[in-house]
Structures are given as C-alpha cells and as structure tokens.
Structure 1
Amino acid sequence: MINKTLKETQLSDGTKISDLVDAEKGIISPRIFSDQEIYELEQEKIFSKVWNFVAHETEIPNQGDYVTRFVANDPVIVVREAENKINVLLNVCMHKGMHLCRTDAGNTKNFRCIYHGWTYKSDGTLMGAPAAKEAYKGAFDKNQFKLVNARVERYAGLIFATFNQDAPSLDEYLGDMKWYIDLYFNRTPLGMEVLGEPARWIIKANWKSAADNFASDSYHTVMTHYSGVELGQLPPNPMFASFGVQVAMENGHGIGVIGAPPNIPLPEYLALPQEIVEAAQAKLTEPQLEALRRSNFVPGNVFPNFSLLNVMQLPGLEENEYPIPFMSMRVWQPKGPNEFELLSWFLVEKEAPQEFKEASRDNYIRNFGASGMFEADDAEVWSGIARVTKGVTAKKELKLHYIMGLDAEHEPGNWPGPGKKIAQTTYTEQNSRNFFGYWAKLMSEES
C-alpha cells in the first residue's frame, strides 16, 4: 500500500522516489525497473495522468473504422464516428463489466456485448438491450449507460487520449516536441500513412528501458549492433553514432538526430526520394529543412512510451546499393514490471512512389521488424537488464550511472531546432536524466 501521509509519495516500506532517482547526478536504483509496487503506481501517477498515443488517423480512415488499444492499463476502442470525429471509449460494457470489443481492428456500425447484448453507438451511447422493457419493468433509461469517453486530441495525424480531465492540452503537453513531430511525421503536404497493422510481440523487460533507449542512447549502436558493422550496414568507427545533436524537452520528451561522420559521404535528407525532398521543401520552414538535411538516424521518445525511429539504413553489402530510409513508430505497452508488449508501425509518405514504399517497408521488416536484426539486439539487452537487476542485493546495493555528458555545456551551436541541446555529440545521457527526472516528478506528486 502507498503511504500518502507525507508530501512526497512513499512506497509501502517507506522508500521515497527521490531515494531511487537522482536525475541531477544521474544515479538511479534498478528497483524502478523491477518493483511490482512501482509498476502499479506508474499506472496511477503517470499513464492515467498524461496523454497516451493510441493510433494514427490513417489506421481508421472511414466512418465506423476502429482499433483497440490501451490508455494506462485500461483497454480502449479508438473509433471514427464521422469524417472528422474520433472517439476513444473505455472498452468495458456498462452492464456487468464485460470486455466489449474483442478484436484488434475492423469496421462496425455499433459495438454489441456478447454477454447480454447491450449495444452501443460509436460515440458510446447505449442503443438498447434485449427485452429491456420487459426485463426492467420500464425502469431502464438508456441515457444513464453511455460508455466512458476519454479526452481525444490529435497532432500531425497522431491520436492521443487521456481520461484525466485536468491534464493540459495536447499542444501544451507536447511543447517543443511538435517541431520535431512536424519534421519526421508531417513533412509533406499529404503527410504519412500507416501501411498494414502494427506488429505486436512481448518482451520480458521493463518498458522504461526501451523508452530511455530511444530517447537518449545512441552510444550503444556500434557495440550492441556490431553485427551491422560486420555486414557493412554500419561504419566500424566507434564514434559513428556520436555525430549530431541530442535534444531534451519539457515533460520528459527527447530526441537524437545523428548526422554524417566526417569523411563518410552519406546522403542528405535521410536518403529520401527526390519527390519527397521536394514535397518537404514546399511545406517545412527553412530551419526544419536544414535539420532534415542533416538527419541520418533519428530515434526519439514522447513521454512516457511513444517512440519514433526515422533512419537511413544501408540494405546490405553491395557497394552500389543505395541507402533506403524507413519510418517506424512504436508503443512500449506495460504488462508488468518485467514485461511489455511492443506495438510497431511502419509509415511512409503518401506522395512516395510505390516502388519506394515497398523497398522501405522491406528494409524496416528486415532490420526493425519483430524478427529484425537490430530489433533482436535491443530486445536481448532490455531483457538482460530485467533478468539481472531484480535480485535482493541488486535492488538494495546497486546504483546505475547515467552520467555521460553530465558536465557538458548546453549550447545551441548551429542546430536550428528548439529544446535543450548538447551540440556536436549525441554521446550524452542528458535525455535519460530528463526522462527519469520527469518520471520521478510525476511519481512523487500526491494525487
């Protein structure tokens, strides 16, 4: 049980979150990755309070289209009611709490519970129930049983939801991260589209390991993904992934933009087709175009658990093969302190030639699909952390050190984008400290 008698929330053994996370010094206890009580507190303090990414608009383009997702550990239905109206409904029947919609995606005019047949419209309004007049003797008011609706806001085709009526607007919550979302999700007049349904698989690890990795950790690239070096997909230079900028933003958001190392002639603009570059030039601002020109590998994370990966990936060993970029977004959906479900989407510009769309998707599947080479590397690392840090001694005695770049100067240099920047290198853990600092802040606040 959580002790809420003091100003700062304490765990049942009296431990404060501030005892476990010192973001300013970069010292973190591994207990935050393995403790059941902390996991349950996260659902209350974080996921139920902030904006959660639930779907992309192109997943539900037509009236009646829906997908089922999660907000915190609450199942939800994301459904298009009309052309410009999207609802996010708690996926629980108002009668006896049955799981209402049990398919991942589809199209329907209504949602009918298999338990007693209560049927709801796409806005959650109860349409009726079998034999309601006879069974309830006239004491059945349909207006009392509307499904619980979340707040829904959208940005650049991304749909977010929260059940917290006191949360700030999505615009305020995203803050400077909108500049980068526009750059990587919304850079052409027609925007991006999701192709296919998200791939889903389970990883035996804590969701924060994955979110932190995408927010901050380019340092692991050459070592963890050394097989990519051996196959000629990555340069052998151990500093390869350090050339660029890391940007920390308010509310725990972070992104890294890795550019070309000196003396390595990599293409500009993520090696995107000329049609896409020209479309971006017609839409983006000059500073955004400069940032896109200098982008080659771009991981980032919108707090808490929505990540992006827009990269220029070499397809193989052939010298004459041209790099093929791809765009992926993913959600690290917590299922327990040492388990999360990974949802991974492939996106591409609507304006892109069909040949490029197919090649880009193939490269995404080969490298960051469920059995992709680089995806498997990361999963082994995250699950390895979970395996060895949940012992009694590890949780009591071990301290993890997120100290890289702790004394680095935060100067904009010549980077054109907003946020707190460490110029000239991405070998820093400022975004980790930013992520865990905001995590600790939310976890410490009284409800």
Structure 2
Amino acid sequence: MGDDLKKGLFSARLFNNRAIHDLELRRIFAKSWVFIGHETEIPNRGDFVTRNIGEDPFIMVRDDKGRIQVLLNACRHRGAQVCRVQAGNSKAFVCPFHGWSYRNSGDLLGVPVRTQGYAALDFKEWGLFSAPHVESYMGLVFANLDPDAVSFEAYMGDYKWYFDIQFALSEGGMEVLGEPHRWIVDANWKQGAENFCGDSSHTQMTHKSVLETGIIDPVSAGAPKEGTGLHIHDCSGHAISIRQLPGEAPFISYPPEVTQHFKPGRLNQDQFDLAERSLLQNGTLFPNFSFLHIGLSDSPQKPHAGFLTLRVWQPKGPNQMEIWNWILAPVEASPEYKRRAYQVGMSSFSPSGSFEQDDVAVWPSVARTAATIFAEINNMRFNYQMGLGDMSSSEPIRDWVGPGVANSTNAGEGGLRTFHHTWYERMTNSKLELDHHDH
C-alpha cells in the first residue's frame, strides 16, 4: 500500500471495509485531536451537549466550576447511557438503569441503597471516565483520548499558520450562529475529509448547477487557473486550498461594515494579506475537522455574504457518516448581517443546501464501488495523481510566505495525497518516505 501511495494510488477497498474501519477507530480517532464543539454552545455552568469521538459517545459539559469536561456517556455501574438528550443544562446526570448519579464534573454523586449494598464503595474511584486531554483553542474545543498525546498546538504544527487566519481575522473572533445541523450520508468519512483538502476540480462538474444560477462567484469555482488557485499541502500532515484575486481585496466577500473589524492583531502581516486577497479558504485538520471560509449568496439578485462553516465527518461504520455543520460569523458583525450570513450558509451547506445536494448525490457511489466484488478482483485503485511529479506543468512556489508546499494552480490533488499519507502513517505507525518531490 505504501508503494501505491507514493505513486498517487489509493486502494478502493479502503473506502468500505469493516476491518479497516475498526482499525481507524483505534489507531486514528483514539489517538488524534478531535473537534468536540465550540465554547459558545455551552456558555453557562451546567450547559452540555452530546458528541462523539470516533463512534464513542461523549458529553461536553461546563461543570459547576466553569471548567469544560468531556465525559464518556456511560455509567460506571453497568454501562448504560447517563445522558439521553442532545443538549441541556444539569447539575447532575442520573443513570436510568439503576439510578447511579454523577456531578456535571463526572464525579460520582450518589448510589441507591448505598449503606445496604455499597457500604465500602470508594466514590473517588467510580466517577465517569473523562478524556485525558481537553483543550480550547480560540473557542474551539478539541479532545484527545491518548494519555501520551502531544498538545493541540504541537499536533497542528505549521498548519497553525493557516488555521489561525480562519478564527483570528476579526478582533473579537468568530461566533457560532444557531445550533449545528447534522445529517446521515451513505459514504465513508474519508470522502468528506479529503474533499475539503483541495478537490477543486470537482466543483465545475459536481456543482455545475450553482455556477449556472450565480450562487457562487465563477472565479471561486471555475476551471483551475494559474495564479487564482493555491493548493498548500504537506503542512504537518494537513492541507488547505485557497482561491484569491491577486491585486484585489475581496476579503472572503465580507462587506466593509465587517472588514473594518479585521486587524492583523494575532496574525502577522503575511497572514492578513493572504486573507485580504482570498475569495475562499478551505482545509482539513486531520482526521475529520474541516472548514470553509467563503462568500456566497442565496439569490442571484443579492450580494454575496461571507461566513465560516465548520465540518465534522463523523464515522458511523465503513460506509456511512454523519455530517455535523456549524455556521459562524465575526463577533462584531451586526445582528442583521449575522442573520444574512446564517441564511446564506444554510442555503448552501446544510441538509437541504445547494452544494450539499450535489455532493451527497455523488459520494455514496464511491462506497458502493469500494464494496463490489469485481473491484476487489481487479485490485481497483483510485487515481490521486493529478499534479503529481511529471503530471504537473508548474513548480511549487519557491518564495511562498507560509509553511507547507504551495502550488500556484489548483489543478492538483496534493492536499488529498497529504491526507492519505497522514492516514497511512497513523494506521501503520511508519513514515511514508516519498521518492520524489510532490508538486
């Protein structure tokens, strides 16, 4: 498999295989930093939401001391689920099976008939299991189940340079608008994660309808063109794709009333200038956290509005995922603009969104193909060679201001290859040594 990856080939069976999926849960999701939610979803003490890491159920809760806890949603007595709603506020979680109760910190609070049946029970040893590492970064809450995990910033590595642009562009940061939407798609979780690494060439075909109706700027989603598209890959195992207008300042279609609050601040001037030139930026922090910073419209008669959408590609078996989608806007934006940004975001990226309907019509067929007997007989491998080595007509940008390998054309799949290289290294615990420079 490693030799195939060096050539830009990826086995079809990896998109629908139970044994491989089970290994992913153990070697990737149990050892990576996984997005749980945003701090603004639980602003008050006792607020909670239920989320997943891999396929394991967790409760993200702000305890009575204001700390954010990520607790396994399973009673220590017999394993029953202690929280059975998606969100709420509570000082305690009570198991519906035998009545064991837990504080919102996870500490064991009470056990029925304790003096008769559990007189010697040590309450300190029987609290809910909690994620060993939980970090909040610019309001984003990530957790890692590996006791030996590196810090979240170390996990991001050089990718932090691009990650910060999305969340620190506005002086006050970004605010979640409404609750996250979620929906089931009969496709492998890797389909969405790799797509946001820079699959620019699918837009003009899969999303042809939104181009024809004027929902998206033609430059943003048109055919790959030298100078307007950037693919940055091999950036600490993560990747990003950027569309820009050199010599212009579209600022992701945010209007002046919003961009007046954009300052370098926590960003350096190169980061700020790149954001100013950008029409959109989309990327994936391995394994399953993606973002898209873009300006769109819900009507050809209305101007574009910028917004940030966050994605989690939640695995639910080898051939099914649940997509979680958040819409964000700068804190300083007016209530009217936030409503507009939310409407535009939901009209494009939601269960009924124009872009979403296109993608979910295509992705399930990949998982179906991966499970076919004839694909197995023919050792079918998918082609990720676009822009690789001699396939590319351009060289990486030598004086690129940011980290990673940057190409001045988005006619490539370097970001997707980066995703699968990282996947291979995490699955095999071995470094993939490339024989040539990946354009």
TM-score, structure 1 as length reference = 0.89
Moved more, 343-352 or 308-317: 308-317
Alpha carbons of structure 1 residues 282 and 245: separation in structure 2 relative to 1, 3 Å: closer
Alpha carbons of structure 1 residues 414 and 221: separation in structure 2 relative to 1, 3 Å: farther
Could you tell me which residue of structure 2 aligns to residue 328 of structure 1?
309
1:227, 1:414 → 2: CA distance?
Answer: 37
Could you tell me which residue of structure 1 aligns to residue 244 of structure 2?
259
1:341, 1:168 → 2: CA distance?
Answer: 27
2:300, 2:174 → 1: CA distance?
Answer: 29
5+ unaligned residues in a row in structure 1: which ranges? 1-16
1:413, 1:276 → 2: CA distance?
Answer: 34
- In the alignment, which of 324, 332, 341 is matched to residue 351 of structure 1? 332
Q: How many residues align?
A: 421
Q: Is the 8 A contact 1:217 1:429 kept in 2?
A: yes
The two structures, once aligned, show a CA RMSD in angstroms of 2.0
> Counterpart of 1:159 in 2: which secondary structure?
strand
Q: Is the 8 A contact 1:246 1:255 kept in 2?
A: yes
Alpha carbons of structure 1 residues 385 and 115: separation in structure 2 relative to 1, 3 Å: same
- In the alignment, which of 422, 426, 429 is matched to residue 410 of structure 2? 426
Alpha carbons of structure 1 residues 410 and 252: separation in structure 2 relative to 1, 3 Å: farther
- In the alignment, which of 359, 383, 392 is matched to residue 401 of structure 1? 383
Could you tell me which residue of structure 2 aligns to residue 244 of structure 1?
229
Could you tell me which residue of structure 2 aligns to residue 140 of structure 1?
121
TM-score, structure 2 as length reference = 0.91
- In the alignment, which of 351, 360, 363 is matched to residue 344 of structure 2? 363
Matches within 5 A, 1:37-56: 37-56=19-38
Does 2:285 match 1:273? no
**Displacement of 1:288 after TM fit?**
1.4
Could you tell me which residue of structure 1 aligns to residue 356 of structure 2?
375
Does 2:335 match 1:313? no
Q: Is the 8 A contact 1:252 1:436 kept in 2?
A: no
Could you tell me which residue of structure 1 aligns to residue 87 of structure 2?
105
**Displacement of 1:395 after TM fit?**
2.7
Matches within 5 A, 1:17-96: 17-18=1-2, 22-81=4-63, 85-96=67-78
Does 2:382 match 1:387? no
- Alignment-mate amino acid for residue 416 of structure 1: V
Q: Is the 8 A contact 1:206 1:338 kept in 2?
A: yes
> Counterpart of 1:304 in 2: which secondary structure?
coil
1:83, 1:282 → 2: CA distance?
Answer: 34
Q: Deviations over 1:69-128 (max 9, x none)?
A: 111221111111256521111111000000111111111111111111111112211011
Could you tell me which residue of structure 1 aligns to residue 273 of structure 2?
290
2:268, 2:84 → 1: CA distance?
Answer: 44
> Counterpart of 2:196 in 1: which secondary structure?
helix
Alpha carbons of structure 1 residues 84 and 181: separation in structure 2 relative to 1, 3 Å: farther
Alpha carbons of structure 1 residues 357 and 239: separation in structure 2 relative to 1, 3 Å: closer
Q: Deviations over 1:14-49 (max 9, x none)?
A: xxx53xx73221111100001111111100111001
- Alignment-mate amino acid for residue 246 of structure 1: H
1:372, 1:239 → 2: CA distance?
Answer: 20
> Counterpart of 1:176 in 2: which secondary structure?
helix
**Displacement of 1:208 after TM fit?**
0.4
Alpha carbons of structure 1 residues 380 and 277: separation in structure 2 relative to 1, 3 Å: same
- Alignment-mate amino acid for residue 172 of structure 1: A
5+ unaligned residues in a row in structure 2: which ranges? 431-439
Alpha carbons of structure 1 residues 142 and 118: separation in structure 2 relative to 1, 3 Å: same
Point out 4+ residue stretches in structure 1 off by more than 6 angstroms. Answer: none
**Displacement of 1:427 after TM fit?**
1.7
Moved more, 176-185 or 366-375: 176-185
